[in-house]
Structure 1
Amino acid sequence: MLRPSLIAALCATLAVPGLQAAERFDTEKGTLTVREITAALENPWSLAFLPGGDQMLVTERPGRLRVLSLDGTLSEPLAGTPEVHAQRQGGLLDVQLSPDFEQDRMVYLTYAEAGENGNSGTAAGRGRLSDDLSRLENFEVIFRQQPKLSDGLHYGSRLAFDEGYLFIALGDNNQRATAQELDKHQGSIIRIRPDGSVPDDNPFVGRDDALAEIWSYGHRNQQGAAINPWTGALWVHDHGPRGGDEINLPEMGKNYGWPLATHGINYSGQPIPEAKGQTVDGAEPPHHVWMQSPAVSGMAFYDAERFEGWQRNLFVGALADRSLIRLELDGDAIIHEERLLKPLGKRVRDVRLGPDGFLYVVTDDASGQVLQLGLEQQ
C-alpha cells in the first residue's frame, strides 16, 4: 500500500501538469512544499515574471536569457541580448521588467562587460521584448561602471525600481579602497532614471570630485536589493569578506563603511588592511549583520496573502550556507531568523515572489533549478 505522504505528493504532481512531485520539509510555520519546475539551466542568476504569471524570464550566467513556463517548458535562448564577460563571477546577471512593461515591454538586464587590459565591470541595459518572446529588440546600454577594474570578481548586481527611478547595487570589483572613492562607481549604489539619465537631486550632482550617478557608497559586493512594500524604503544586502554579511537601508549620500568598517576578516584569516573597526565615525552601521557569512544573494519581501505564516517576512538566498533565510520583521527590525531548504544542499542565488503568492528560488549550479515554494500551514 502507498503511504499517505506519497499519495499526497503524487496527487500534487497530477494537479499541476509538468511539475515534479513536491518534497516536504517541516518548518516553524508549517510544512514547506518544494516543487522543481526545471533543472535544465546553466548557472541561472535571476528571474522575472511576465504578465499573466505563468511564464518568467530567467538569466543564465554564460549569457543566455530564456522564457520558462510553470509547466517546465524552456525556450531557446532569446536573440538580441548583450555580449557578456562570462568568466569567474561574471556573466549575465539580474533581470527586471519595466514598471510600465504592459505598455513599453522593456526588459532591464545587468551583466559583466569586458573592457581594456583584460579588466571588466558591471553594465546595465534595456531592450524591448518581442511580441513572440523570441528576442530583445534595440538593446541599449544605459549605465557602465567606470572605471572597469574587475578581474572577474565582485560585480554585484541587483536592480530595483522606485517611483520613476532605477537603483543599481554594485560591487567593488575586489578593489577595496575604491568603495570610498567617489570618482569611481565601485562599491556604490547607483540611482538613475530608466533611460540612464541622472536625476538632478542625486547627492553628488555638480561635484567635480564625484560621479553624479552615485546614491550611496562604502559597499562591498551587493547581490540583493528590493523595495520594502510597507515603507517604500530601499533595502540591500552585501557580502562581507570572511564574516560580516550585512543588510543596509541605504540613504542618499551616506557612507556604509567598507573597507574602513567591517565585521569580517580576510579569507586568509588576517585582518582587512584598511579596517579601523566594526564601525567608524562618518559611516553608517549595518542594519543587520551575520558574523558568520551565509554568502547572501537575492532578496524578496513577502507581501502576498496566500501564505499567512510568511506575511511581513523577508527572504534572502544563501550560497555558502546553501539555504533560504526567512527573516521576521517588526517594522524595520529583524526579530527572528529561520534557515530553510538546508536538506537540499543547494546554493540559492535568487528568490522572487510570484504573482500567485508562491516563492520561486533559483539555484546556482551547472544543472541549475527553478523551484516553487509553498506552505501547508499548521
Structure 2
Amino acid sequence: MACPFLRDPIDIGAQIVRKTIRTKRLFKDRQNPLSFSEEYINERYHFSSHCIVYLADLLTPSLRNDTLRSYPLTVMQTLCIGLHFFACGEFMHAVGDAENLSKSTVCRAIRRVYLALARILPDFVKFPGHCSQQEVKDSFYRIAGLPNVIGVVDCTHIPIKVPSGPEASDYTNQRSFHSINVQMVCDSQCLITNIEAKWPGSVNDFHILQKSTLYHQFQQGIFDGWLVADNEYPCLPFMMTPYLNPKPGAESCFNEALYETRACIKTTFTTLRARFGCLKGLRVSPQSACDIIVACMVLHNVAIIRKEAPPCFSWMPRNKPEPVYCDHQDGTAIRDSIAAQLFASCSQVL
C-alpha cells in the first residue's frame, strides 16, 4: 500500500537512487597556453616558451590552486593570463575574451601573478648587481672610461588612470597627466639593481632618491663607488652628473663619457615599455599600479638573465633636463679630478 503522504513513490525512489549514484560533473578542459608556435607565443606573451616554463616552476608555490570545487586554472594558465596582460596592456575584459574567461577570473589571475612576482623581488633585484662590485665597475668602465661607477639612476613616469579621492592631484606630474614616478638604478647590461615604485607623479626625482634606503646607504659609506645621473640631480660625493656649461677639453670629454655611460638607463626604460605594453597606461588603483610595475621589473630582469630576445623598439632622442639643484662642493671636486684624469686620454676614450 502506498504511503498517503507521498504523491508519487516511484519519483521519490528515483531521487534516492540519483543521490546514491551521483554522476561526476564534467568540465571542458582548457587548451594548453603553450601549444602554439614559438612565434605566436613570443608575440602573445613577449617571452619564449622555455622562459614561461621556468617562470611557472618558479611561481608554482604562489600560483597553485588547491580547490576541489570546480576545475581550477592551472599554474601555467594563470601565469599566461598575467603575462598576456603585461604584454598587451589591454582592458581586463579584452584579456578575458582572448582567453575565453570571465573578467572576474582574469582579474583574480592577474592579481595573483603580479603579487607572486613582487614577493620574489629581492631575489632578482639586488644592488649593485648579481656579480661582484668590482665586476660591475669594470663593465661600466669599458663603456667610456669612467671609473668607479656602480650604477646609473633615473626616474620615469608610468601613466595611471585618474585616482579617486582628494589625493588625485598628487599624481599629476609636470606634463599634466597622472602617473607613478618610478626610480630605477641599472647596471651596464640594463639589469635593474634597485627600484622605488611608490611615489606620486608630482614628486621630483631627487626627493625620491633622498627618501630611499639606497641614498642613506651611500651616505653611510656602505658602497665603494658612484652613481651616475643627469642634471635632475646634484653632483654629490657618491653621484656624478654632467657639467652644466662644459668648457672645451676635459669637461666636455667628461660629459660625453657620462652621456655614453648613462645610455643604459634610457635603453632600460625603452625596453620595459616595449616588452610590457601595460606600462604605457595602467587603468588600476595607484597601489595596484605600483605592484604591477614591480612585477614588470622582476620579469625584465628574468628576461635579461635568461638572455631572452629583446623586444623591437625605436630609439628615443636624448633630452638634457634643466637642472633643479645646486651641486655639492665635494661632489664637484671629485668630478673635476676625474675630468682632469680623462683629459690626457680624451682622444682615446671618446
Decide: shared fold, TM above 0.5.
no
The structure number with the bigger radius of gyration is: 2
Q: Identify the structure with the greater strand proportion.
A: 1
Q: Identify the structure with the greater helix proportion.
A: 2
Q: Considering Cα pairs closer than 8 Å and 6+ residues apart, tell me whether 1 or 2 has the greater RCO.
A: 2
How high is the TM-score relative to the length of structure 2? 0.28
How high is the TM-score relative to the length of structure 1? 0.27
